[in-house]
Structure 1
């Protein structure tokens, strides 16, 4: 971290002689110096969403800890007109606002003279544009009507007001909003007053917040529908009724009732777990018309992408399930993130990994049929794909600049972090882990915490020593996935499992495999009457485990319960033995088995024929997640190893044999009262079989629905309701591929007339599926227009990359429209640009052109250096794996 630290000589001089900090000191490159610390804020805004700019007055009480003639703070794109400095005795002077680092958003306040250490009050008047890139205080529209709202995380508060935009500066905030009289204003806390403010204006004031970092300040202005939800009853940990409301764009409020009905059970579950009542007084859930993230945990005013909150009885089942999961995630943040906040962004996992882990616990309790236990494993395996890169982040990645902050919101932080928590929770036991979490929350409530605070609390609760802490830290402070190689030996009547560990590296990786973790490892193995599980801490490069009571011809599942964040390998005879017993494994273990096959294939130990044979039994499983587990591996083989029509036909036949009867049994329409798992499986199989593998029967069925949806009604609108709502996006995708430009043009004409977010998402899916350069480029051109929201643009641009020719067409379009793409994306999204245009590539030439194009542009797109490194590495690994393959192997 480039934390500003004063030279030792200056420290001594200041101590003995009262020397001051002069305005000539260096611009902070990392954290702001701590000799000026905010104590409280008053934020007053005057804004009309119909305008392009707003005005504000920020009043900050600052503890100036040492004599200085200036201080540093954050502010970006702010036009400051006046700075007033009031000292501790009430003396008022004029200060000066100096933009010191415009790109980073660092500014300086010059006092005009040297002031001694004291409590100062700064009052800053300014104007600023309503942001167009979904950052800070930004402008959006719904059905042509403008709204203004905020998204401050991670470092965008500086676009909205000048201040100390770092997480450990937690202070109370007083917020007031002067807005047009006919609009609704909401914020983190309850409204306490509304007063006229001149012709057709009013000022709305809100209760003071609890101590918050700047990134959690939130408010919104517009003609919102405000819907009262069910009051959340008091609990053993909260004595007051908690009022609950839904906030949605005008005309949409009636669709938020489902989520409001689910929310009390989430809050009560979280309170019971943490032993700590919801602390923020009121709770509003807001459906944002456009949003850069999935949702944001602002205390008291949680904001979401609108499709997560606006649900109807026929909404796609995957949206209903995602709605609950994301709501549980954001509400879990009210404790881990909002009540206890990370001290600095290298510990972002203390927010996001814990919210992900806790959401899964809440979902398992409230909706066990959603199988969040399987989601955790699938998501961890997705994180392992990224974590297998040499360029992968650590969970606790040092922060070297704003780009590192903006790119920390990834699978490593969220999903690897959650998996590691689950693994160590399993090691110490759920009750012990809960005791540690309760102690952690109580010790740091309304303040900040670091990794050591959390790990120490768990260790104390579990009576664990340094070896436990070291094992925990081994997963937090180094990147990579442990790879546990296993070998069975029968010796002197005993069965011994020999173990060695290294870093998992795919074929073609240039990484160093020599790495050791402290792995809480559990093994399931066959016995004469079934199976047993044995668990040990494996924290050396090599080791062994005695399998008591193992049958002579035992089989081994080296990740029992699938709780461990590691991959495993074994000799082919052992794989064969495990495959024969795969039906005896639990659902979770079957997912770990599928990942083990994929890992062995990408590591070069198994060829395509081995993988296809080992994965085939999973297609007959009863659980949706297990049924779908082979699809990604098979899709890679189909797109990158099958070179001829005969080879692709062979793989398509494998897919049809494995899945077509299941697809036909499910049918192509949601059945009355069917389990949502069946509904989602229908969507999963239809999408894969039609769009990844081109299975004719499935494409024909979806095309029929797509044609029906594209037929015009009497009013000239498309009859989108003619398709099954869960399959609409896939049906439109097939229709665009089969019907070409007329289908695409129909969707382009329809999108501006559609306000329902789920339907818009289906149309965007159809646009992204265009599979000829001319039609695909028309869709991409349309994505740059205002008819496509900023947050929707990537959904269109992500399509068209299944073949080298399609990727070449995307590349040509992107490089020809680079400036227009950049103009629509903010710094939070710019780090994803290399993946947006280069994802799915699989050749040295594609890796080289990506590097050559982006390398000179990195200085202008914050965070893109990591995105470039990872996308290039993924491309080269794909090319290496492709080069290793013998296509005849998959025909065995």
Structure 2
């Protein structure tokens, strides 16, 4: 056909198809299933030094109904050419129409109606590198540009036209044409390299196993690619698995600690699932800037750089976090990558399982890290959000793209993991493992739903509908069960009366008349020591016999803290349990703390009683237990105390229970000390020095902070204990004000080490002067702060008083558009919570509503974010109105 006729043909195709599309609504959620991808070939040309990239995407598509078009996802793509080849025939021109620019949905018009058959769709396009750390984006690090991907949840559409949903799971063939002096990596092993014209080369990678779009990954840049120890063969996997680290230029040597810890994690996971790691290699990449903590891309796992770039002097919390996060992401290679959720309402099948499995791996490999306590602490953190009426279900219906982003929260991660652990404890670990192994085998390289998982566990356990209904009650109903217990004497036998309802703190407008299928296990005192008893509480009330229980003895209503519920105790039972606290396990003492906190937030005990009940915990030799009351005391100090005398009373309490331990630990690392000592030193120093402002602690921290600042433009980081760096610099900021703030801001652009940058930004966020706080927040919007670092400083400054929060609010509203533009569309749902940080009055809630209501349409997920922020303010207001701070002063 002559070239001049091409525009006429395009107009004719548009005219013929217009009436056919008029009645069909553009899909804004899931795409229709009558067009399904079978595989992809991605051929991209990527030069990070440029502002755009280009590519050709070829998709084999099965068309299962007659149609003159299909729907596809694509956003910010400039499409140059589209062809469709039907039934193995000659490619014919088609048309790409951006039908929904906001959601990134496009239509491919064939120009004629095609019958059900296999098609080959080829799309040539170009696109800008994304500026919000989504899709294929670029960052500049030490003056060198890098390009890399972050596709989850629905950002593959920025990188290539695709069916951007988890259920469309296919193999991929990936080719990257890149500058000859750069390195390129992707999900699978490179199998070929060929010249591609002057200054370029083309890398071809092996075909992937079936993947959803959100797990496709590649990266281009002047990377250091270093070999780690090969992961030796197991009974589940033949051959040695290649392991590599991918780091920014010059940083490869700092990957050693992370790489050395990886083989044992893979071996542990393979042993648990009885299923070998399925991909042909494992690369772990330290991202120079990243919107998430880490991402489980199959075969190419990406992390925030501070999690992988370590040395022997790194802060203890980073070393532990590195192992834990690596274990979490590698657990995903089975739950998420091998078996993938069918839709985002089952995101918990990915994240809950990876969280739960990471804790099992850590407990086996590093029991001293106390992942059993992390499990309980994580669940209790989730309960704080789950106490809101505006909370989510674990399995939450997805009504729009904003709901997808909202799903990445404590409900999906920590609550889900806790619920898994609760039912694992109920049926037994071996039985649960049997069910999990069958689940993986039944759905390998395919998709699954919650029903598939629950059925596998129920079958392994030989359980019927009651078990399934109990499990589903936690998946499909929001909120936290509140299980209240009462010890009674029934014909000479001790019996525990149980009642359950939804936990709703003071100020809540929710309906408490909710029930779950709660596996309730209690541990109780006997003449020989203690014993356990369990029941499945499915009604509003029930009872549980405690054979051999000692009359008047203690009862812990959540044995091992294995249950996802808050416990309620009458005054006598609480007194007895408090007196016998050393008889409880470490996890149970955390459950006790949570029960006391629940009573306080219900208004059943006052601040003085709260402190009295928590004080025995501080004597624990286990830092996670001893330090748990710090959160309660900090809230009392910032949100409830109104006078200097009340704050002084809290400071005295804190010094009595924690200062001797701080003095014992000292302020410098000791040869051979336990990692838990280093972590507790950092926790206590921050609490006593920055929150409670204990002079002796501040003086020691100030010495270290000032020694770092004495380095001038190049800060002398080696002058501070790495574990105390942020607190030490924070005290210097508070003591020296503008001089320290200006020095840190001036030095930050020249600081490369991510741990040092985190400490500097955290210190800047501790500023107290309102004018300096505004300056720090504005600094967070500058190019000197990475997009992934912004959150450290967006809420900088003291927020205890309404005047402080007014200053923060005025800055936020004045800079709203700049914040919105930089934080990214899919993080917009968090903006109401950022704006409301520390708020505790009805007036603050009303101004939040007034400001965000007209902006909700442009913020995916912000409706729920606004609801939760306002409800949190209402609960804070109700609690401060009920609880009398005068009880703090005797």
Question: What TM-score bracket applies, with the shorter chain setting the length?
Answer: over 0.9
Matches within 5 A, 1:763-782: 763-782=760-779
Deviation at 1:637, TM superposition (A): 1.2
- What residue in structure 2 maps to residue 601 of structure 1? 600
Distance 2:187 2:715 in 1: 40
Distance 1:694 1:533 in 2: 44
Deviation at 1:142, TM superposition (A): 1.3
Distance 1:231 1:868 in 2: 48
- What residue in structure 2 maps to residue 17 of structure 1? none
Which of 792, 796, 805 is equivalent to 2:793? 796
- What residue in structure 2 maps to residue 884 of structure 1? 882
- What residue in structure 2 maps to residue 758 of structure 1? 755
Deviation at 1:604, TM superposition (A): 1.1
- What residue in structure 2 maps to residue 421 of structure 1? 420
Contact preservation (8 Å) 1:519, 1:538: yes
Per-residue CA deviation, residues 628-662 of structure 1 (Å, 9 max, x unaligned), is 11111111111122110001000100000010000
- What residue in structure 1 maps to residue 686 of structure 2? 687
TM-score (norm. length: structure 1): 0.97
Deviation at 1:400, TM superposition (A): 0.1
Deviation at 1:22, TM superposition (A): 4.7
- What residue in structure 1 maps to residue 810 of structure 2? 812
Contact preservation (8 Å) 1:482, 1:501: yes
Find out whether 1:700 has 2:699 as its counterpart.
Answer: yes
Find out whether 1:719 has 2:716 as its counterpart.
Answer: yes
- What residue in structure 2 maps to residue 555 of structure 1? 554
Post-superposition, which runs of at least 4 consecutive aligned residues in structure 1 deviate over 3 A? 20-24
DSSP-derived class of the 2:56 partner: strand
Contact preservation (8 Å) 1:471, 1:519: yes
Deviation at 1:24, TM superposition (A): 4.5
Find out whether 1:437 has 2:436 as its counterpart.
Answer: yes
Matches within 5 A, 1:440-455: 440-455=439-454
Q: Which is further off, 84-93 or 311-320?
A: 84-93
Contact preservation (8 Å) 2:523, 2:533: yes
Matches within 5 A, 1:105-184: 105-184=104-183
Matches within 5 A, 1:525-674: 525-674=524-673
- What residue in structure 2 maps to residue 212 of structure 1? 211
Contact preservation (8 Å) 2:639, 2:800: no
Find out whether 1:495 has 2:491 as its counterpart.
Answer: no
DSSP-derived class of the 1:319 partner: helix
Which of 771, 784, 787 is equivalent to 2:784? 787
Deviation at 1:462, TM superposition (A): 0.7
Deviation at 1:89, TM superposition (A): 3.5
Contact preservation (8 Å) 2:645, 2:889: no
Deviation at 1:803, TM superposition (A): 2.9
Contact preservation (8 Å) 1:21, 1:70: no
Distance 2:120 2:391 in 1: 44
DSSP-derived class of the 2:870 partner: helix
DSSP-derived class of the 2:94 partner: strand
Matches within 5 A, 1:303-382: 303-382=302-381
DSSP-derived class of the 1:276 partner: coil
Contact preservation (8 Å) 1:507, 1:602: yes
Find out whether 1:728 has 2:725 as its counterpart.
Answer: yes
Distance 1:799 1:659 in 2: 26
Per-residue CA deviation, residues 677-709 of structure 1 (Å, 9 max, x unaligned), is 000000111111122222222112111111111
Distance 1:134 1:306 in 2: 14
Contact preservation (8 Å) 1:406, 1:827: no
Deviation at 1:29, TM superposition (A): 2.5
Query: Aligned pair count?
Result: 871
Distance 2:561 2:731 in 1: 37
Find out whether 1:874 has 2:872 as its counterpart.
Answer: yes
Distance 2:303 2:70 in 1: 36
Distance 1:376 1:339 in 2: 25
Which of 736, 741, 752 is equivalent to 2:738? 741
Distance 2:592 2:472 in 1: 27
- What residue in structure 1 maps to residue 463 of structure 2? 464
Matches within 5 A, 1:63-78: 63-78=62-77
Distance 1:602 1:356 in 2: 28
DSSP-derived class of the 1:122 partner: strand
Contact preservation (8 Å) 2:487, 2:494: yes
Per-residue CA deviation, residues 822-861 of structure 1 (Å, 9 max, x unaligned), is 1111123111111112122111111111111111101111
Distance 1:802 1:677 in 2: 30
Distance 1:802 1:43 in 2: 53
Distance 1:113 1:313 in 2: 65
Distance 1:878 1:204 in 2: 56
Q: Which is further off, 684-693 or 36-45?
A: 684-693
Q: Which runs of 5+ in 2 are unaligned?
A: 1-18
Deviation at 1:717, TM superposition (A): 1.6
Distance 1:79 1:537 in 2: 58
Distance 2:104 2:339 in 1: 26
Find out whether 1:480 has 2:479 as its counterpart.
Answer: yes
- What residue in structure 2 maps to residue 6 of structure 1? none
Deviation at 1:21, TM superposition (A): 6.8
Contact preservation (8 Å) 1:23, 1:70: no
- What residue in structure 1 maps to residue 14 of structure 2? none
Find out whether 1:832 has 2:830 as its counterpart.
Answer: yes
Distance 1:683 1:517 in 2: 39
Distance 1:733 1:712 in 2: 16
- What residue in structure 1 maps to residue 821 of structure 2? 823
Distance 2:803 2:314 in 1: 36
Contact preservation (8 Å) 2:781, 2:819: yes
DSSP-derived class of the 1:726 partner: helix
Per-residue CA deviation, residues 520-545 of structure 1 (Å, 9 max, x unaligned), is 11111222232221111111100111
Contact preservation (8 Å) 1:62, 1:122: yes
Distance 2:302 2:362 in 1: 20
Contact preservation (8 Å) 1:23, 1:69: no
Deviation at 1:496, TM superposition (A): 1.8
DSSP-derived class of the 2:723 partner: coil
DSSP-derived class of the 1:403 partner: helix
DSSP-derived class of the 1:536 partner: strand
Per-residue CA deviation, residues 93-129 of structure 1 (Å, 9 max, x unaligned), is 1111111111111110001111111111111111111
Contact preservation (8 Å) 1:181, 1:201: yes
Find out whether 1:289 has 2:270 as its counterpart.
Answer: no
Q: Which runs of 5+ in 1 are unaligned?
A: 1-19
Per-residue CA deviation, residues 182-225 of structure 1 (Å, 9 max, x unaligned), is 00000000111111111101111111110000000000000000
Which of 846, 849, 852 is equivalent to 1:848? 846
Distance 1:833 1:722 in 2: 37
Contact preservation (8 Å) 1:32, 1:72: yes
Deviation at 1:23, TM superposition (A): 6.5
Distance 1:234 1:491 in 2: 59
Distance 1:472 1:410 in 2: 20
- What residue in structure 1 maps to residue 262 of structure 2? 263
Per-residue CA deviation, residues 735-765 of structure 1 (Å, 9 max, x unaligned), is 1111000000000111011110000001111
- What residue in structure 2 maps to residue 8 of structure 1? none
Deviation at 1:90, TM superposition (A): 1.3
